[in-house]
Structure 1
Amino acid sequence: MPYNLGLRRRLQLLASLLFCVLLGYLTSEAVAKPTLSFSLPQGLQGFPSFQSFTQQIIEQRSVRQMKTYSGKRVSNDSLIMIYYHDLTIAVTELGPQKLLLGCELIEIYNDKEGKMLLEGLSHYNRPLEIKFDEMLKLMDQCEHVDKLSYASRHKSKLESGERSSGGGGGGDSSSMGGANDGVALKLATNIFPRSPFSLLSGIIPGTKWCGTGDIAETYSDLGSEMAMDRCCRQHDLCPIKIRAYQHKYDLMNDSLYTKSHCICDDMLFSCLKMTNTSASQLMGSIYFNLVQVPCLDGRSNQYKFRAAKEGF
Structure 2
Amino acid sequence: MLTMILECVLFVLVAHCFPRGNAGSGSRQWFTERANLRPLGSYRTNVVVSGTTVAELGYTRTGELAACRLSETKDDYETQWLARRLSSSARETNLEEMLTLIQLCGKLEASHVMSNVSYFRTYPGTLWCGPGDSASSYFELGSNAVIDRCCRDHDLCPIRAAPGEISVPLTWYSKPAGSSTNLFTISHCRCDAAFKRCLHEAGAIEPVAARALVFLYEVVTRQCLGDNGQLVAQQVNFWNLF
What does the per-residue CA deviation read over 1:176-199, in whole Å, with 9 as the maximum and x for residues that have no partner? xxxxxxxxx11212433xxxxx11
What does the per-residue CA deviation read over 1:125-172, in whole Å, with 9 as the maximum and x for residues that have no partner? 41111111111122222223x14xx5xxxxxxxxxxxxxxxxxxxxxx
Relative to structure 1, is the Cα distance of residues 18 and 143 closer, same or farther in structure 2, using a 3 angstrom cutoff? Answer: closer
Residue identity opposite 2:223 in structure 1: P
Cα distance in 1 between the residues matched to 2:38 and 2:122: 23
Rg larger in 1 or in 2? 1
SS at match of 1:67: helix
SS at match of 2:56: strand
Relative to structure 1, is the Cα distance of residues 309 and 227 closer, same or farther in structure 2, using a 3 angstrom cutoff? Answer: farther
Relative to structure 1, is the Cα distance of residues 101 and 292 closer, same or farther in structure 2, using a 3 angstrom cutoff? Answer: closer
- Written as runs of structure 1 = structure 2, the 5 A alignment for 1:1-312 is 10=4, 13-20=7-14, 22-23=16-17, 58-59=21-22, 62=24, 66-68=28-30, 70-73=38-41, 76=42, 78-122=43-87, 125-144=88-107, 146-147=108-109, 185-192=111-118, 198-199=119-120, 202-246=121-165, 254-276=181-203, 277-288=207-218, 290-298=219-227, 302-311=228-237, 312=240
Cα distance in 2 between the residues matched to 1:139 and 1:253: 31
Residue identity opposite 2:65 in structure 1: L
Residue identity opposite 1:307 in structure 2: A
The offset of 1:19, in angstroms, is 1.2
1:296, 1:304 within 8 Å by CA — same for their partners in 2?
yes
The offset of 1:12, in angstroms, is 6.1
What residue ranges of structure 2 are gaps of 5+ in the alignment? Answer: 31-36, 168-178
What residue ranges of structure 1 are gaps of 5+ in the alignment? Answer: 1-5, 25-53, 151-184, 193-197
The offset of 1:246, in angstroms, is 1.8
Residue identity opposite 2:215 in structure 1: S
1:16, 1:204 within 8 Å by CA — same for their partners in 2?
no
Cα distance in 1 between the residues matched to 2:105 and 2:25: 25
Q: Following superposition, which runs of at least 4 residues in structure 1 exceed 4 angstroms of deviation?
A: 61-65
2:29, 2:137 within 8 Å by CA — same for their partners in 1?
yes
- Alignment length (residue pairs): 218
SS at match of 2:201: helix
Calculate percent identity across the aligned residue pairs: 27
The offset of 1:242, in angstroms, is 1.1
Identify the residue that residue 177 of structure 1 maps to in structure 2: none
Cα distance in 1 between the residues matched to 2:123 and 2:11: 7
Relative to structure 1, is the Cα distance of residues 253 and 259 closer, same or farther in structure 2, using a 3 angstrom cutoff? Answer: farther
Identify the residue that residue 175 of structure 1 maps to in structure 2: none
Cα distance in 2 between the residues matched to 1:219 and 1:189: 16
**RMSD, aligned CA:** 2.8
Scaled by the length of structure 1, the TM-score of the pair is 0.62
Scaled by the length of structure 2, the TM-score of the pair is 0.79
2:163, 2:183 within 8 Å by CA — same for their partners in 1?
yes
Give the strand-richer structure, 1 or 2.
2
Residue identity opposite 2:90 in structure 1: P
